[in-house]
Amino acid sequence: MQDATTSAQPLVSGLAEHLIGSEIIRIAGEINHRIAQGERIHNLTIGDFSPAVFPLPERFRDLIQEAYGEGLSNYPPANGVVELLRAVSSMVLRSQGLDYGTDAVLVAGGARPLIYATYMAVVNPGEHVVYPVPSWNNNHYSYLQGAQKVEVEATRENRFLPTAEELRPHLKGAALLALCSPLNPTGTSFTKEQLEAICDLVLEENARRNGEKPLYLMYDQIYRDLVLDGTVHVDPVSLRPAMRPYTIYIDGISKSLAATGVRVGWAFGPVQVMRKMAAILGHVGAWAPKPEQVATARFLGEDAYGAAVAKHRTMVAERVNGYHHGIQQLKENGYPVDSIPSQGAIYLSVRIGIIGRTTPEGKVLHDAADVTYYLIEKAGVGIVPFFAFGTRRDSDWFRISVGTTRMDMVPGVMDGLRKAIDALN
Q: Residue 211: its pLDDT value, please?
A: 83
CA distance 344 to 124: 33
Predicted confidence (pLDDT) per residue in 233-290, tens digit:
999 999 999 999 999 999 999 999 999 999 999 999 999 999 999 999 999 999 999 9
Give the mean model confidence (pLDDT) for residues 403-416: 97
Q: Across the strands, what pairs with 382? A: 43
Model confidence at 21, in pLDDT bands (50, 70, 90)?
confident
Query: Distance of CA 150 to CAs 180, 221, 296, Å?
Result: 16, 21, 36
The candidate with the shortest Cα–Cα distance to 176, out of 167, 165, 189, is: 167
Structural contact between residues 191 and 234, judged by C-beta atoms closer than 8 angstroms: yes
Radius of gyration of the chain (CA): 22
Model confidence at 7, in pLDDT bands (50, 70, 90)?
low
Mean pLDDT of the chain: 96
Pairing label, strands 347-352, 337-340 = antiparallel
Q: Residue 24: its pLDDT value, please?
A: 86
Predicted confidence (pLDDT) per residue in 288-316, tens digit:
999 999 999 999 999 999 999 999 999 99
- 3-state SS class at 328: helix
Residue 124 above 60 pLDDT?
yes
Predicted confidence (pLDDT) per residue in 189-214, tens digit:
999 999 999 999 999 999 999 889 99
Count of all residues that appear for the chain in the document: 425
Q: What are phi and psi of 370, to 5 degrees?
A: -60, -40
Query: Distance of CA 352 to CAs 328, 333, 361, 411, Å?
Result: 12, 14, 20, 17
For CATH 3.40.640.10, list the domain ranges present in the chain.
Answer: 58-302
Share of the chain above pLDDT 90, in %: 92
Residue 22 above 90 pLDDT?
no
Give the mean model confidence (pLDDT) for residues 221-227: 97
Model confidence at 139, in pLDDT bands (50, 70, 90)?
very high
Give the mean model confidence (pLDDT) for residues 320-329: 98
For CATH 3.90.1150.10, list the domain ranges present in the chain.
Answer: 15-54+308-422
Q: How far apart are the first and last CA of the chain?
A: 56
Q: What is the DSSP letter of 225?
A: G
CATH 3.90.75.20 fits 15-54+308-422, yes or no: no
Q: What are phi and psi of 248, to 5 degrees?
A: -115, 115
Structural contact between residues 176 and 218, judged by C-beta atoms closer than 8 angstroms: yes
Query: Distance of CA 44 to CAs 8, 10, 134, 171, 373, Å?
Result: 40, 36, 18, 35, 13
Query: Which H/E stretch holds residue 60?
Result: helix 58-69
Model confidence at 1, in pLDDT bands (50, 70, 90)?
very low
Query: Which H/E stretch holds residue 142?
Result: helix 138-145
Give the mean model confidence (pLDDT) for residues 177-182: 98
Share of the chain above pLDDT 70, in %: 98
Structural contact between residues 128 and 173, judged by C-beta atoms closer than 8 angstroms: yes
Q: Residue 10: its pLDDT value, please?
A: 79
- Specify the pTM: 0.95
Structural contact between residues 216 and 177, judged by C-beta atoms closer than 8 angstroms: yes
The candidate with the shortest Cα–Cα distance to 117, out of 84, 75, 81, 145, is: 145
Q: What is the topology classification, in CATH, of domain 58-302? A: Aspartate Aminotransferase; domain 2 (3.40.640)
- Beta carbons within 10 angstroms of residue 142's beta carbon: 23
